[in-house]
Amino acid sequence: MDTAGRPRDAVVVAIDGPSGTGKSSTSRAVATELGLRYLDTGAMYRAMTWWMLANQIDPGDPVAVATASGKPVLLSGTDPLAPTISVDGADVSGPIRSEEVTAAVSAVSAVPEVRSRLVELQRAAVAAAASAGGIVVEGRDIGTTVVPDATVKIYLNASPEARAARRNGELTGARAVGVEATREALVRRDAADSGRKVSPLAKAEDAVEIDTTDLTLDQVIEAVVGLVERRRRERNLG
Ligand SMILES: Nc1ncnc2c1ncn2[C@@H]1O[C@H](COP(=O)(O)OP(=O)(O)OP(=O)(O)O)[C@@H](O)[C@H]1O
Ligand SMILES: Nc1ccn([C@@H]2O[C@H](COP(=O)(O)O)[C@@H](O)[C@H]2O)c(=O)n1
């Protein structure tokens, strides 16, 4: 066992960064390539936000959100090839990506009671994955708060322009709002996430920062896999 009580060969990879830097795409590919589980913590905050909206609780009312934060039953599936998220037994993987949820998620995520509940669930998922070799966890505060003793910590970054172009490339139909509006929305959300008091979006001191602006997704995946494999070799030699 290591100092965290995990099997010595269990690997925890923390991947943090602002929206549109490639965390989900990179995390799922790295987990698949290395035979690890995968947890999308952003989907958990989105699911909590979706539940608040569905139950007519004002996301801008921190007291109401805090009071209700223990009610929804959230369940994350950690298969990187088919990750899932359900609320009270219902699959919400589609609805949590709506514009309404995206506009409200930062406010809900700033409520301390929401964070303490979801961090508890995230740590339980990390512990459960240890016997299966480990897990890649993506989010905003994984390396700083959720798993500060992670085997490898990565902080992905990219210019707002590159991130907006990528995000805009995903938006279709009525959701396509133009790259400038997308950039403004990303910058607004980044500011809210990094400016909040409780576990803000931040790079852990011991995280490796990768600027993905001019890298292809495959190059980012290759870089992260290389870092994990190097750390595994160092630990086996230690
Ligand atoms: N290095 C890259 N070069 C080009 N496109 C990329 C790169 N990384 C990711 N993408 C694309 O950008 C879009 C956003 O990627 P992804 O969802 O992985 O970002 P994210 O950081 O998880 O965003 P969010 O935090 O909002 O979920 C996807 O369409 C993905 O394929
Ligand atoms: N560890 C985390 C992960 C996410 N959040 C909040 O959720 C929002 C959505 O995350 P996506 O990865 O789906 O973009 C994000 O903007 C944060 O407000 C968080 O607080 N902590």
Task: Map out the domains of the chain with their CATH numbers.
Answer: 11-231 (3.40.50.300)
Q: 233 alpha carbon to ligand 2 midpoint, in Å?
A: 32
Q: pLDDT at position 122, please?
A: 98
How many helices (H) and strands (E) the chain has is answered by: 8, 8
- Using the atom order of ligand 1, give the atom closest to the CA of residue 27: 18
Low-confidence residues in the chain, pLDDT < 70: 1-6, 8, 171-176, 237-238
> What separation in angstroms does the CA of 150 have from each of 10, 14, 42, 144?
10, 6, 18, 10
Locate 91 and state its tokens. Answer: 């699959």
- The alpha carbon of 46 and the centre of ligand 2 are apart by a number of angstroms equal to 7
**pLDDT (tens digit per residue) in 166-220:** 988 776 666 667 888 989 999 999 999 999 999 999 999 999 999 999 999 999 9
Coil/strand/helix, residue 49: helix
DSSP for 58-122, please give it.
-TT-HHHHHHHTTSS-EEEE--TTS-EEEETTEE-TTGGGSHHHHHHHHHHHT-HHHHHHHHHHH
Ligand 2 centroid, distance to 189 Cα (angstroms): 9
Q: What's the pTM value of the predicted model, to 2 decimals?
A: 0.95
Contact between 39 and 135 (Cβ < 8 Å)? yes
CA angle (183 as vertex; 59, 210 as ends), nearest 5 = 100
Q: What is the spatial distance between Cα 48 and Cα 235, in angstroms, rounded to a whole number?
A: 37
Ligand 1 contact, 27 CB (< 6 A): no
Write the residue with the smallest CA distance to atom 24 of ligand 1: 19
Q: What are phi and psi of 14, to 5 degrees?
A: -100, 125
Ligand 1 atom at minimal distance to the Cα of residue 219: 1
Q: Which of 203, 190, 21, 206 is nearest to 109 (CA)?
A: 190
Q: What is the DSSP letter of 2?
A: -
| Residue 235: per-residue pLDDT | 83
Is 22 known to sit in a ligand binding site? Answer: yes
194 among annotated binding-site residues: no
Closest ligand to C-alpha of residue 123 is 2
Backbone angles phi, psi at 214, to 5 degrees: -110, 20
- On whether the CB atoms of residues 86 and 92 are closer than 8 A, the answer is yes
Residue-level pLDDT at 56: 98
